[in-house]
């Protein structure tokens, strides 16, 4: 069910990013968001998320990040509005983070690095019937990015953090239910940047409308420390590697405009 894209990751290694390039790719992600160069678009609408916690199924350590997966067989957890013309279905969310609090996010704002970034991955269920189809199309996916900064403990995130020790190793999966992902959105979802980009891991397809929240959420150092206690490696491997720095290097903006929903 949820995304059913496991095939993609079986070929993946934390260090894949160095040699892998997309020939002729002109809308790759992630990028730096320059506030000065972004363009206010008054036509951008408020985002509308309708998430049903009953579609939450499991947590999976896929050897690159951990994914909270949702049942995406029907339109129960959806996203529309914002820059989007179609309805998109939530299939999973995951995070990227650093080995310390000085870096970890994939996107940056005026070169400012956040310690972590949440990605809520949705696919276009108006135009496509499966994630696998949508991932190959230029209007196939919409990903909401939320920056995380260190501060107070995040109560909503804690339920997830408590479950992480059970998926410490690569390939481990545990049941995880009734989690409402809207608790991980910032208070103000009306202020965001949007641009046309790609997945940040293989297959790196240029399928993604990125929606990056301006307001970060606060999480505690201890909560991020639990992320860093996860492993890239499976239980069988002799040398265990901490799951940290699981972000892609930044890509050039090229001929793109970043639009903002706020002035």
**39 in Cβ contact with 260 (< 8 Å):** yes
**Burial per residue of 33-57, b for 16 or more beta-carbon CB atoms within 10 angstroms, e otherwise:** beeeebeeeeebeebebebbeebbb
**Span 103-132, contacts to Zn ion by CB under 5 A:** 119
Q: Which is nearer to ligand SG4, 64 or 232 (CB)?
A: 64
Residue 121: name its binding partner from Zn ion, ligand SG4, none (Cβ under 5 to 8 Å by kind).
ligand SG4
Applying CB under 5 A, the site for Zn ion has a residue count of 1
Residue of 87, 115, 119 lying closest to 197 (CA atoms): 119
223 binds, among ligand SG4, Zn ion, none (CB under 5 to 8 A by kind): none
Is-cis flag, bond preceding 225, omega within 30?
A: no
47 binds, among Zn ion, ligand SG4, none (CB under 5 to 8 A by kind): none
**Interface with ligand SG4 (CB under 6 A), residue from 28, 57, 62, 125:** 62
Q: Which of 31, 121, 231, 244 binds ligand SG4 (CB under 6 A)?
A: 121
Mapped onto helix, strand or coil, the DSSP state of residue 18 is coil
**Containing H/E element for 134?**
helix 131-134
Residue with smaller CB distance to Zn ion, 119 or 154: 119
Q: Which does 8 bind (CB under 5 to 8 A by kind): ligand SG4, Zn ion, none?
A: ligand SG4
**In this structure, are residues 213 and 261 in contact, taking their beta carbons and an 8 Å threshold?**
no
Residue 49 structure tokens: 């998320």
3-class state of residue 36 by DSSP: coil
228: Cα separation from own chain's centroid:
17
Looking at the Cβ atoms of 247 and 260, the one nearer to ligand SG4 is 247
Choose the one of ligand SG4, Zn ion, none that binds residue 163, judging by a C-beta under 5 to 8 angstroms depending on kind: none
Among 28, 61, 125, 200, binds ligand SG4 (CB under 6 A): 200
62 binds, among ligand SG4, Zn ion, none (CB under 5 to 8 A by kind): ligand SG4
- Helices and strands (DSSP H and E) totals, the chain: 4, 15
Q: Which residues bind Zn ion (CB under 5 A)?
A: 119
Interacting residue ranges for ligand SG4, rule: CB under 6 A: 3, 5, 8-9, 62, 64-65, 67, 92, 94, 119, 121, 135, 143, 199-201
């Amino acid at each position: 069910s949820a995304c059913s894209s496991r095939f993609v990751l079986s070929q993946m290694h934390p260090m894949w990013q160095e040699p892998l390039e997309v020939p002729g790719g002109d809308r790759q992600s992630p990028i730096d968001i320059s506030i000065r160069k972004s363009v206010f678009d008054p036509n951008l609408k408020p985002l509308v998320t309708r998430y049903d916690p009953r579609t939450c199924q499991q947590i999976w350590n896929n050897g690159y990040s951990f994914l909270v997966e949702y049942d995406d067989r029907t339109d129960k957890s959806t996203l529309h509005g914002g820059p989007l013309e179609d309805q998109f279905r939530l299939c999973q969310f995951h995070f990227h983070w650093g080995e310390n609090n000085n870096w970890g996010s994939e996107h940056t704002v005026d070169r400012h690095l956040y310690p972590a970034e949440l990605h809520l991955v949705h696919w276009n269920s108006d135009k496509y019937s499966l994630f696998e189809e949508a991932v190959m199309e230029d209007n196939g996916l919409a990903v909401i990015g939320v920056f995380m900064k260190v501060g107070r403990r995040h109560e909503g995130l804690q339920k997830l953090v408590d479950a992480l020790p059970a998926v410490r190793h690569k390939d481990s999966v545990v049941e995880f239910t009734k989690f409402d992902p809207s608790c991980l959105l910032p208070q103000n979802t009306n202020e965001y940047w949007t641009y046309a980009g790609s997945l940040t891991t293989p297959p790196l397809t240029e399928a993604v409308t990125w929606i990056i929240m301006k307001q970060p959420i606060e999480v505690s150092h201890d909560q991020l420390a639990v992320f860093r206690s996860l492993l890239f490696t499976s239980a069988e491997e002799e040398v265990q590697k901490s799951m940290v720095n699981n972000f892609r290097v930044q890509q050039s903006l090229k001929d793109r405009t970043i639009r903002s929903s706020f002035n």
